[in-house]
Amino acid sequence: MPNRKIEDLPGKTVERLSQYRRLLFNSLQEGKTNIYSHELARVTNLTPVQVRRDLMLIGYSGSQSKGYVIKDLINLIGKIIDSDSGQRIAIVGMGNLGRAITSYFLGKREKLSIVAAFDNDTQKTDRIIAGVPCHHINKLKEIIPAENISIAVLTVAPEASYEVAKLLFEAGIKGILNYTSMPLTVPPGVHLEEYDIVTSLEKLAFHVKQ
Amino acid sequence: MPNRKIEDLPGKTVERLSQYRRLLFNSLQEGKTNIYSHELARVTNLTPVQVRRDLMLIGYSGSQSKGYVIKDLINLIGKIIDSDSGQRIAIVGMGNLGRAITSYFLGKREKLSIVAAFDNDTQKTDRIIAGVPCHHINKLKEIIPAENISIAVLTVAPEASYEVAKLLFEAGIKGILNYTSMPLTVPPGVHLEEYDIVTSLEKLAFHVKQ
DNA sequence: TTATTATTGTGAAAAAAATTACAACTTACA
DNA sequence: TGTAAGTTGTAATTTTTTTCACAATAATAA
């Protein structure tokens, strides 16, 4: 493949790049400047070949003696994953999970920021929760475009999920990370990532059982 | 493959089975008794063939006219995924995320139950949080075997993750679902599932950017 | 200088997963 | 009765992802 484009990097590779970068930050903080593929592989539970292949796909070259230059690699991964201007995120549903994600995430990434939250409980709206202004959900269609929010994290109750998703589409959202137990179908042009805790636990339980 | 064994079902199939069951419960509640592969496929964003293939792998047969019998299929998936005696789970780290998962999960599955939580903050220990008794983490090695807990959900701060994981191994844990941003390496015989919210968001952001 | 060792980069093979193609069956109804 | 429509089950193929195998290169030490 002489001319593989960045935009069709394998999805798995994108996930791993994010993981690499996280670990590279750690190594940098420990004072390291260079790292070998087998070191990255050990800590990620991957194989050195897979690490090298991923880096090959993004066109990064290391040196046979010193391995990869951590700083350069972090920058390159940033160029690929991050968008120049940064992307703005909303949390929709400020229950336990919504608050957990918000406080967990806050300040973790320069180019991704949670800038708004929404809920339908007036106890929670019109104030700052976990560092983020929480609005009533009936302002969603107005605030999403006004705040230039492109990504929503959906953490509402499952019963509300379709209805709220519809609002998000109408508001012009571009990506949804769905933590609801209801799978969504999204219109063309909207990206979707789903995750369900129960499924993860059941998968793990299945393997443990064997 | 004339004799594919249940224990080496593809990982992806196991995940989808869990998903199917969730949706089958919904359909059952709506009063349906039968379902076609294309109906299951639509709501899961999969193809009908993939649904049929998954069901073929677990040896379930439907009828050409009525599709699949929801109740039977739920039971069969249960036989495959669940363990007869049930499996017991501990939440380790009762911060925002730990509490969110606990309350989200509580009572969702008959054969999987969260029976204990651990934390190192004495404000939280020796009382019931989100319906589950929370113990001090220094009792972990004693309680895990005593309570016959085989699976742990790791939701501690990243700095503590290796140390706590070590405790869990020593306590004889069989599976870990790691929500910490630090990837773990587990001893042989222990199963590991990792999930990182930031990685999911970054992956989504990458696709949105394109 | 010449082995020896350790590393990267990558073509080729293998394995895993998804899709296509279609035979076989069931029902409805002309 | 026969035929059209709609469904399941699965072999075969294609696509995607991972792993293997090894050439090329650099550093080190004999």
Give the percent of chain A with pLDDT over 90. 93
Has residue A82 got a pLDDT over 80?
Answer: yes
The burial class, CB within 10 Å (0-12 / 13-18 / 19+), for B146 is: exposed
Question: Residue B7: its pLDDT value, please?
Answer: 74
Phi and psi (nearest 5°) for B120?
Answer: -105, 0
Q: Tokens representing B175?
A: 């599976």
| Nearest-nucleotide field for A2 (CA, C1') | C10
Q: How are the residues of chain A apportioned to helix, strand and coil, as percentages rounded to the nearest 5? A: 45, 20, 35
Residues 6+ apart with CB under 8 A from B4: B57
Question: Residue A107: its pLDDT value, please?
Answer: 84
Mean pLDDT of chain A: 94
State pLDDT tens for residues B156-196.
Answer: 999 999 999 999 999 999 999 999 999 999 999 999 999 99
- Best residue in A80, A202, A207, A210 to probe B by mutation, most B CBs within 10 Å? A202
Residue type, A3: N
State pLDDT tens for residues B64-95.
Answer: 999 999 999 999 999 999 999 999 999 999 99
Question: Residue B1: its pLDDT value, please?
Answer: 37
Mean pLDDT across the stretch A79-105? 95
| A2: confidence class by pLDDT, cuts 50, 70, 90 | very low
Q: For residue B160, what are the CA distances in angstroms to A92, B81, B92, B95, B137? A: 30, 31, 11, 13, 11
By C-alpha distance, the chain B residue nearest A156 is B104
Of B87, B203, B205, the CB nearest to A208: B87
Has residue B125 got a pLDDT over 80?
Answer: yes
Q: Protein B26 CA to nucleic acid D22 C1', in Å?
A: 54
Alpha carbon dihedral A173, A177, A181, A185, in 10-degree steps, equals 50
pTM of the model: 0.94
| Nearest-nucleotide field for A60 (CA, C1') | C9
State pLDDT tens for residues A151-188.
Answer: 999 999 999 999 999 999 999 999 999 999 999 999 99
